[in-house]
């Protein structure tokens, strides 16, 4: 039988062991919670003052998202009429990408014309050319992976180089019901619009005259749909501008304080779930809803491709063809690296090889990766010497930009020199924040 003294001596060890186990369990819970909320509550993560320096625990939100951290959702409105079966193959009438920076609470809407002539992937690894709005229709016909949404997403990613995280599909009836659920929307009509034969059915046996007068109008679901769809007397690009107005009005209506009450929020969510087809997990919807609530309308940028496309006739059909260099410039107004932009580093590319045009080629490549051309300049190496290795000098503590430059140029992190932290690192002469000295090993990757 164990002596009472022995038990007394071991009791503190037992209590200490329990305390260590409890602390470890709590620490593990913190790690799980702070990492999982990135998934379920993007941009609304837990903030744990005093604990965010512990290893494994999420340190919270940066000021802005990197290009990989943005949330890109492809939104599609179907051209399926109200009397057509839901499972019938159909084309998209509306297509745009919503890109959200969950940290800086900003967003962009990048609208894509339905008649844009693009390359559409096939099931054999090749491509064929057609209007972008047929991709959704061909998906189920060809049994493309993911069906209509899968082929539409693949088409956008291939032609625009935009990585799509999620998709959301809405038909006419669903759109009208959602607008009615938020008690209608207020739209500023810019010009007089008349369509003498507007219809919602496939047979168009419901033709009617639709008239919109300039001024502020409160629209119910059917009226808002007509304003977004009407094409008589206007082209696809004018429709896109009206659709963007409807989007902004819908955001304003959804953020109305009365609709954020729990009972109304549940009702709206139930209507949303019934009206849309999406791959957004039910567990992510609340987090995305909170994120949307925190983005004020003035922080939403809307981009139209009007200046980057022109009318053309292909195979006897009237289509829109793109100037892809202009498209790329417009794309960068929405899809940009927020962390890179927030650092605002001014970069100088010095040619240390004497090869004509090398620095200019590198600058053009960096611009294609998202570095604003207004924030970069070129010159010859300040020391006038020939350089074998390409080096990056960080003179102002712009670590994120310096690391991205190294990544884009295919350089290891050891090629980045932090000037000021190491007195043995001599700084080239320049007033820039970061200097890239191109050596003989410099190569310009393909954009």
- How is residue 29 written in tokens? 């819970």
Greatest extent of the chain over all pairs of C-alpha atoms, in Å: 101
Q: Does domain 344-438 have CATH number 3.10.20.30?
A: no
At residue 124, the pLDDT reads 86
Paired strand residues for 434:
347, 394
pLDDT at 360 over 50: yes
Q: Is the pLDDT of residue 35 over 60?
A: no
List, for residues 38-60, the tens digit of each pLDDT value: 544 455 554 544 444 444 444 55
pLDDT in tens, 223-278: 998 898 887 767 667 777 887 788 778 777 776 645 556 666 666 667 777 777 88
**What's the Cα-to-Cα distance from 275 to each of 86, 174, 175, 213, rounded to whole Å?**
11, 4, 7, 30
Q: How confident is the model at residue 437 (pLDDT cuts 50, 70, 90)?
A: very high
**Maximum mean pLDDT: which of 85-99, 221-235, 403-417:** 403-417
Q: Where are the domains of the chain?
A: 1-61, 71-331, 344-438
Q: Determine the 3-state secondary structure of 345 from DSSP.
A: coil
For residue 184, pLDDT over 50 is answered with yes
**If pLDDT is split at 50, 70 and 90, which confidence band does 447 have?**
low
Domain 71-331 belongs to what topology?
Aminopeptidase (3.40.630)
DSSP H helices, 71-200, are: 135-141, 147-160, 172-181
Beta bridge partners of 278: 168
Instruction: Find the angle CA(404)-CA(408)-CA(409) to the nearest 5 degrees.
Output: 115
Alpha-carbon distance of 15 to 352, in angstroms, equals 66
Mean of all residue pLDDT scores within the chain? 81
Calpha distance 299→329 (Å, rounded)? 20
- Integer CA distances (angstroms), 58 to 39, 43, 52, 441, in order: 12, 13, 6, 38
Say what the pLDDT of residue 293 is. 72
* Domain 71-331 matches domain 344-438 at the CATH topology level: no
CA distances from 134 to 162, 340, 415 (A): 19, 36, 48
Q: How far is CA 340 from CA 38, 196, 280, 362, 415, in A?
A: 21, 50, 28, 18, 19
> According to the model, what pLDDT value does residue 176 have?
84
In angstroms, how far is the first alpha carbon of the chain from the final one?
79
Provide the pairing of β-strand 391-394 with 309-314.
Answer: unpaired
């Amino acid at each position: 039988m164990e002596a009472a003294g022995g038990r007394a001596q071991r009791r503190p060890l037992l209590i200490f062991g329990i305390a260590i186990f409890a602390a470890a369990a709590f620490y593990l819970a913190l790690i799980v919670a702070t990492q999982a909320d990135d998934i379920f509550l993007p941009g609304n993560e837990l903030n744990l003052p005093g604990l965010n320096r512990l290893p494994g625990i999420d340190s919270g939100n940066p000021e802005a998202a990197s290009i990989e951290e943005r949330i890109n959702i492809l939104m599609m409105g179907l051209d399926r009429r109200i009397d057509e079966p839901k499972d019938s193959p159909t084309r998209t009438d509306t297509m745009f990408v919503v890109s959200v920076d969950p940290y800086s609470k900003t967003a962009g809407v990048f609208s894509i014309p339905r008649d844009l002539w693009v390359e559409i992937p096939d099931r054999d690894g090749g491509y064929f050319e057609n209007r972008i709005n047929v991709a959704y229709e061909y998906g189920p016909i060809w049994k493309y992976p993911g069906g209509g949404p899968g082929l539409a997403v693949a088409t956008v990613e291939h032609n625009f180089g935009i990585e799509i995280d999620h998709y959301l599909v809405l038909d006419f009836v669903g759109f009208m019901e959602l607008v009615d659920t938020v008690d209608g929307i207020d739209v500023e009509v810019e010009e007089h619009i008349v369509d003498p034969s507007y219809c919602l059915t496939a047979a168009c046996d419901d033709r009617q005259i639709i008239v919109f007068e300039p001024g502020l109008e409160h629209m119910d679901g059917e009226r808002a749909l007509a304003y977004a769809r009407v094409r008589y007397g206007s082209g696809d690009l004018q429709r896109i501008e009206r659709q963007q107005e409807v989007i902004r009005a819908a955001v304003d209506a959804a953020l109305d304080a009365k609709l954020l009450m729990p009972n109304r929020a549940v009702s709206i969510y139930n209507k949303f779930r019934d009206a849309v087809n999406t791959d957004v997990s039910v567990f992510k919807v609340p987090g995305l809803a909170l994120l949307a609530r925190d983005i004020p309308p003035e922080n939403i940028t809307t981009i139209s491709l009007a200046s980057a496309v022109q009318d053309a006739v292909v195979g006897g059909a009237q289509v829109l063809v793109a100037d892809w260099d202009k498209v790329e410039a417009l794309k960068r107004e929405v899809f940009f690296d927020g962390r890179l932009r927030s650092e605002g580093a001014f970069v100088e590319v010095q040619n240390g090889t004497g090869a004509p045009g090398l620095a200019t080629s590198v600058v053009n490549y960096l611009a294609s990766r998202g570095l604003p051309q207004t924030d970069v300049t070129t010159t010859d190496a300040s020391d006038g010497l020939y350089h074998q290795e390409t080096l990056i000098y960080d003179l102002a503590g712009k670590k994120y930009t310096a690391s991205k430059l190294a990544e884009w140029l295919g350089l290891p992190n050891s090629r980045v020199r932090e000037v000021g932290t190491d007195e043995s690192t001599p700084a080239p002469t320049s007033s820039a924040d970061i200097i890239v000295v191109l050596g003989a090993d410099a190569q310009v990757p393909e954009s």
